[in-house]
Amino acid sequence: MRSEFDSFYDKQLHTRLGVAYFAVVLVFGLLGLRLWFLQMAEGAKYRKLSEHNYIRIQKIKAPRGLILDTNGQVLAGNRPSFDICLVPQDARELGLVTTRLAGLLSLEPPYLKQRMEKSRGRPPFEAIKLKTDVSRDNLGLVLTHRLDLPGVVIEAIPVRYYPHGTLACHLLGHLGEISLRELARDDFSLYAMGDFVGKSGVEQTMERHLKGIDGQYQAEVDAVGYKINTMGRVDPVPAHTITLTISLELQKTAEEALGDRPGAVIAIDPRDGRILAMASSPAFDPNLFSRNISSPDWELLINDPQHPLMNRCTQSLHPPGSTYKLITAAAALEEGVVTPHTSFFCNGSFRCGRRSYRCWKEGGHGMVSLMKGVVESCDVYFYNLGSLLGPDRIATYAKGFGFGAPTKIELEDEKPGLVPTSGWYRARFGIPWQSGDTLSVAIGQGANQITPLQLLMAYAALANGGTLYTPFYVEKIASAEGEPTKRFVPIPRGQLPLSNKNRGLLIEALSGVVNSPSGTGGRARLSHIEVAGKTGTAQVVGIGKALRQSTVFKDHAWFVAFAPKNEARIAVVVLVEHGGHGGSAAAPVAKKIISRFCELEGGGYV
């Protein structure tokens, strides 16, 4: 007979069995639910991870398109670069591997830690770049110790290379790592984080042609992540080749002639606006940017007071000095204010109100006609023209010659310059235009601001019959096989407000500047070709003669010319910042460029 104790025991047992049953059901239910989740909900993810244990999809970088000069010589190409990378999934002891690698490559542990943290959140089978562009010695060290470095792999990729270093750097431009803002744009849909893109110059403007399409291959890897077999491959699509209008030899001459003096030199074909050479000094080495420029190098560039990253050809603004006198002369002739025979007396100064304005020649030039005024660059003659014309008529012709507006060359951040008018003056200073300011403007001083390229295009139009062209520097775009896909043609953008008769008069005067014994541009004279041009000396500030001799306050030197006089095939502008007089500092530079051009052209010039 069962006792009361037995009944109590049975109840306790049944309770415990129920709890145990429930616990078993719950555990197996949770296991089943987890199994379903892993197989159904995240099956694709873990299948991919499983495949990546032995199969890796590797990107094949497409080499960047070549940039050539007009004769087919390489200005920007590519070279192989070896990067040391780490696949976290293959590194069994991540800390130990990175420590060993740091010792082999002399890397600071904090640097490696920073690189690893920067890649946090990425799939563990994706390679992390730890050191780019390693030397052959370091490459050999890694290969020798490969068994001690599981997960460390070597990637070979093409890197941009500029074989001539700083040559034509401002025109060619430089690369930089793509930014998050750029990645968000539709035109960068084929790019990925870490890719390099053009940031300036040709590299930027021709980016869509210079970028190929990356390929890929499937690689079977061993336990430490090294490739043992290629299972499939999609080849990259080659980029286009860009042929420029510039000549490598003429570019070398331009840069050598300018030297290390801050300034700019541009040579073009005035018949269509094609750039033959473009140099800005000081220069920089674009190779520094090809693989993430170092912080010390970047600091040196951006803190340099001479601003080597600035393209002075299109971004530096200065008064044009006496080169602007041609604009004043053109306005006076076209407006009928003077004739070629109208003369004014120069005694070395010009009285305006209570102030005397000096001529550069202290003793004066005597009686001066238009021809003599241009040839000898008499300030007093142009003071007279300016006072007869007024600021707004001078400004109208200046704008007609292309000043005060971009030339529309396809380069970043081109400056428009400034052509002052009476309306601008009132808006800027809140007072009416002053008569003394007209005299300054008439000789290219005062508020006038132009770029070297603007000045060159104006004189080129004078030489070619009166057509203002848009300057261009790309001759053609071709496929990687060399088949042309696009050729560039001249683009007219306006006509000079100048009759053929008056244009001819001004060209004769410019020829006298160089070839007359009294001309200010005699140091550009050549025996085998007739050069026409104009010197200019632009004051930095209104100071005394003694102080102006210092480097900081020395005048800017200009010279702009074309040759041959009547059928010009080359036009050149030279700006030497703080160079002094245009005739002595800038004209000899132009002479060397024109002479070299004649040698390269051959028959008919030498």
- Structure tokens, 497: 């407000």
* DSSP-assigned letters across all residues of 271-323: TTTEEEEEEEES---GGGGTT---HHHHHHHHT-TT-TTS-HHHH--B--GGG
Report mean pLDDT in 10-residue bins for the chain, 606 residues.
56 68 74 70 58 63 94 95 80 76 76 69 70 81 81 84 97 92 86 87 96 78 58 81 97 97 98 98 96 88 95 97 98 97 96 91 95 97 97 98 97 96 95 94 96 98 98 94 87 96 97 97 95 93 50 84 96 96 95 96 59
**Residue written as tokens 């990378």?**
85
- Looking at residue 131, its pLDDT comes to 77
Catalytic pick from 290, 316, 322, 511?
Answer: 322
- Looking at residue 547, its pLDDT comes to 46
- Looking at residue 606, its pLDDT comes to 43
Whether 584 is catalytic: no
- Looking at residue 319, its pLDDT comes to 97
Number of neighbours of residue 346 by Cβ within 10 angstroms = 24
Residue 447 backbone dihedrals phi, psi, to 5 degrees: -85, 0
- Looking at residue 231, its pLDDT comes to 64
d(CA 479, CA 73): 16
Domain architecture of the chain: domains with CATH: 80-161 (3.90.1310.10), 248-296+308-601 (3.40.710.10)
- Cα within 13 Å of Cα(401), Cβ side: 33
Give the end-to-end CA distance of the chain in Å, rounded to a whole number.
137
Q: Which of 119, 246, 304, 277 is nearest to 193 (CA)?
A: 119
| pTM reported for the whole predicted model | 0.84
d(CA 196, CA 208): 12
